[in-house]
Structure 1
């Protein structure tokens, strides 16, 4: 339970923001008369408390729609948390009111913390290979294939049977496939890529998956419209809910620049660029408004310095950017 702070020396702003978030969660639930009394005491104890609470209230008031979109996009990941909260609710009925209130607060704060800091925890548990945010990594699969994973990526592998299967769950991966005579299949998003021995990248971008060929040849299939594309080196194709897109000629240095810690893009959606930058920093980034999210931009950014990349985007596009506690970043018009 949060207690009042009547006569204590000033505390770090991060601590005040954490308390403001906790109080915001409590007061938007089912607060008791005692909660109201303690909240007012905390709020009036220091002007910094009032400012922090107003900032949290204003921020969440402006992010209702993005929050619903994030929840929909991550429904599979969040389902585990929701099940756990549901079980807590069932047990709560057998407890007294004070314990029930505490359990509700704890579940809400825990859910917020997981959403903010560890949104991929269940996905990581299901994966065979994972890279943390800000850390690229190289792994060798059971058949000898070498895979370079971008930061914040995850994949599973299954090498038994007549085919070698890999599923990219999140992020991006560059595959240097060892030829064995058995097909090597990468499932990602709403399609798959099939090869025997070649080098190519697969990247998940919101609704779309992008495949880029560096060496050899690959066949890319869309589960949505059941079309198939055969790529040659220096070609790329994307697929998603709209089906398979056109084959494009690309610069491999630009398309695969993430392997060297840079992001080079031309006429790309702001939302896609921000999502890739987000794999290199802690916390979450939310863009307000579909118009801003779909804004097209070109550039060359340092992925290993994500804050500098965001600052460069801000200078180019001219959006507003506000942060809460160094963990939640809101981008708006």
Structure 2
């Protein structure tokens, strides 16, 4: 009896759709376009995956174009104002215009201010927009509350249940099963059978907060798992898993209802959370300022007030260049 080819999983189909889409963005040949067209027509699931990829592209490229059009004058004025020398007027004008063109090209090609993670979104199966929290139902019946500006890739079959968190944070309500449920991050993994827990990515680490059940947290650099209990939180990175600490779950998971509470957190991490709930970008060039520790709580519904509160607490300088660009400095 001749062996049959295995049926590709949903994750494999989505990966193939992403591959074809990227090929077609890079001056494809007539044969490549024809091959992609045949692949799309060969199965309804292929066309469905293709449409999903196109939707991600539209969600990023179009707003980036609109943003560039809207902010062109403001950016040009800002760049001209930065030119404090007394060179001739036409030289100054050329510098300002050239700087504006460079900035606008950046906006147009990557939608950087509007959505700096648009390339990463291509590898994701679920993506939330800035300021959006949404519930995602998985194939096994588990549910995920995805925080704003977050993304994950999922691969659930009868043999395994895996979610790779690519960006941001999420709350997992996992249906009990004999098949382990694993949340993968660049720093390590969280393994459960059925429970409720938060996972949040930071710069080079991640944090797990457990509401119910138990989870096993392992680091890429420390394979031996650390078990945490309800009401505990643990940070982990490629270097290892830290000692679990007890936390107030209402505070730790307050983001579910739009409130962010933090204790001795890095300013950079706090500003990143604020940035998830506003359009554009917040830039903090100073590494020293980024490492300052802050404590507080604020509503995520008004990010301007949140930034003002942080400024009053830390004392940094805040420059709102446009509605979509804020620079924080010492």
TM-score by length of 2: 0.71
Alignment of 1:142 onto 2:139:
yes
For residues 287-302 of structure 1, the aligned pairs below 5 Å read: 287-302=284-299
Aligned equivalent of 2:236: 239
Tell me how many residue pairs correspond in the alignment. Answer: 258
Deviations 1:189-245 (A, max 9, x none): 210000111000100011110001100000001002323210110011111133211
For residues 146-165 of structure 1, the aligned pairs below 5 Å read: 146-165=143-162
CA RMSD of superposed structures (Å): 3.2
**Separation in 2, partners of 1:313, 1:143:** 41
Aligned equivalent of 2:317: 320
Deviations 1:267-293 (A, max 9, x none): 111010001111001111111322211
**Separation in 2, partners of 1:110, 1:43:** 22
1:141 touches 1:147 (CA, 8 Å); kept in 2?
A: yes
Deviations 1:81-103 (A, max 9, x none): xxxxxxxxxxxxxxxxxxxxx9x
CA drift of 1:125 comes to 2.0
1:227 touches 1:244 (CA, 8 Å); kept in 2?
A: no
Consecutive aligned runs of 4 or more in structure 1 exceeding 4 Å deviation? 12-15, 20-24, 104-109
Give ranges in structure 1 of 5+ residues lacking alignment. Answer: 1-11, 28-36, 45-49, 61-101
Aligned equivalent of 1:40: 90
CA drift of 1:43 comes to 3.0
**Separation in 2, partners of 1:197, 1:250:** 21
**Separation in 1, partners of 2:290, 2:103:** 33
For residues 84-163 of structure 1, the aligned pairs below 5 Å read: 108=106, 110-111=108-109, 114-163=111-160
1:192 touches 1:221 (CA, 8 Å); kept in 2?
A: yes
Alignment of 1:18 onto 2:75:
yes
TM-score by length of 1: 0.70
Deviations 1:75-128 (A, max 9, x none): xxxxxxxxxxxxxxxxxxxxxxxxxxx9x99855534x5222221112222211
CA change 1:289–1:105 in 2 (3 A) is closer
Deviations 1:161-186 (A, max 9, x none): 52200011111000000012110000
